[in-house]
Amino acid sequence: MRPVLLVAQSGLLGGAERVLLDWSRALERPTLLACSPGPLAAAARDAGLEPLGLPHRALRARGRPGRAALELAGLGRDVARLARRHRPAVVVASGVRPILAAASAPLSGARLVALNHDVAATTLALALRAASARSAATIATSRAIAHAAAPRAVVIHPGVELADWALPDPPPSPPRALYLGALVPWKRPDLALEIAARVPGLALDLAGAPLRDDPPGFAAALHARAARPDLAGRVRFLGAVTDPRSAMAGAQCLLHCADNEPFGLALVEALAAGRPVVAPAAGGPIEIVTPACGRLYAPGDAASGAAAVRSILADDRAPAAARERAAAFDAPTAARRFSELIEDVARGGH
């Protein structure tokens, strides 16, 4: 039986990479994973999947389109080389750059499935639409992603195993919010600090770290802001966490701040842990957060975010509603839908 080749450019282990690993376990065919060295490769080995190494490539070219084009061409050559060597039935390109690279690469008879986790900017969205048109099938992990780049994509929301996220109630005092994500500008940890500054007595944990290729200035500015008098003593920087449950255990709510989050697996995980979610009213969170289990606020608006935090902390019914809402995002169902689609494509369908 010809295998399935999964391609992920990043060696990180964020939400998209964890979803890819979870879904890979449901595949009927032998599975190969190509990624660069890092936490994703280590997690793959722990799951019994020996990764095929890809060279590390910067996730962003920082205004250097020539460098970005070279990196994309190099990734395309890597995908073509692996397709020649392993003769997969299906190549699943996970993420924007793998999709663009694989769509233009010779795949030695393999059929391409584009797995898109990102809401792309306008120019990139046009390229993704073209790449999706050359794919046998496209999967989007939210309706927001599908609307931006692949209107005919199959939408599969990632899910959770509720039993894995059962946590005891957090300590009642002080009230604590958790920011969970990389310390990068688009995730807006700076906004989390400004929101916390407007909620007297609120403690804030930032669980995450800068990415490998990021300059140190942004993280340094976050530490400097947290040290100012209106926040001093209320903010903890936890660094990267291998298990989000350890960070969620002490928090009353999850504070999400990205202005346009594509989906937000961390939101679903928080709900499963009985932690209500406060998030911007844009992108994936609109598909996840209901008035019963959380609050949505105006993207980028610290005052609106602070009002949302105060409201959710005063809602005694929200933790139970959070668990109930998480049940709508079932991990086995999502993995089964993914596996069925891949098998259909491998047999010439879709």
pLDDT value of residue 65: 59
Q: How far apart are CA 257 and CA 174, in angstroms?
A: 21
Q: How far apart are CA 13 and CA 148, in angstroms?
A: 24
pLDDT value of residue 188: 97
Which two tokens mark 88?
A: 């997969």
Query: Is the distance from CB of 293 to CB of 277 less than 8 angstroms?
Result: yes
Report cis status (omega within 30 of 0) of the bond before 174. yes
Global pTM reads: 0.90
Residue 218: its H or E element: helix 217-226
Residue 137: its H or E element: strand 137-140
How many helices (H) does the chain have, and how many strands (E)?
14, 13
Alpha carbons within 13 angstroms on the beta-carbon side of residue 211 total 18
DSSP assigned state of 327:
T
> For the chain, which residues make up each domain, given as ranges?
4-159+330-346, 162-326
- CA distances to 15, 122, 233, 278, 344 from 204, rounded to whole Å, are 21, 34, 10, 13, 46
pLDDT value of residue 64: 56
Confidence of residue 197 (pLDDT cuts 50, 70, 90): very high
Burial of 168 from C-beta contacts in 10 A (0-12 / 13-18 / 19+) = exposed
pLDDT digits (tens, 9 = 90+) for 198-243: 999 999 999 999 987 777 899 999 999 999 999 999 999 999 998 8
pLDDT digits (tens, 9 = 90+) for 247-292: 999 999 999 999 999 999 999 999 999 999 999 999 999 999 999 9
Beta partners for 176?
203
pLDDT value of residue 42: 93
- What lies within 8 Å, CB to CB, of 14 at 6+ separation is 182
pLDDT value of residue 59: 55
Asked whether this chain's domains 4-159+330-346 and 162-326 adopt the same fold, the reply is yes
pLDDT value of residue 262: 94
Q: How far apart are CA 186 and CA 61, in angstroms?
A: 15
pLDDT value of residue 350: 75
Burial 54-68 (b: 16+ CB within 10 A, else e): beebebebeeeeeeb
> What's domain 4-159+330-346's superfamily in CATH?
Glycogen Phosphorylase B; (3.40.50.2000)
CATH architecture of the domain 162-326 equals 3-Layer(aba) Sandwich (3.40)
- CA distances to 14, 46, 311, 334 from 20, rounded to whole Å, are 10, 14, 35, 11
Rounded percentage of the chain residues whose pLDDT exceeds 70: 97
Q: How far apart are CA 237 and CA 29, in angstroms?
A: 42
Q: How far apart are CA 319 and CA 325, in angstroms?
A: 10
**Pick from 68, 69, 127: which is nearest to 96 by CA?**
127
**Pick from 244, 247, 266: which is nearest to 19 by CA?**
266
* pLDDT (mean) for 92-105: 95
What amino acid is encoded at 201 in this protein? G
Q: How far apart are CA 328 and CA 272, in angstroms?
A: 10
pLDDT value of residue 7: 97
pLDDT digits (tens, 9 = 90+) for 120-140: 777 788 888 899 889 999 999
Place of tokens 């039986």: 1
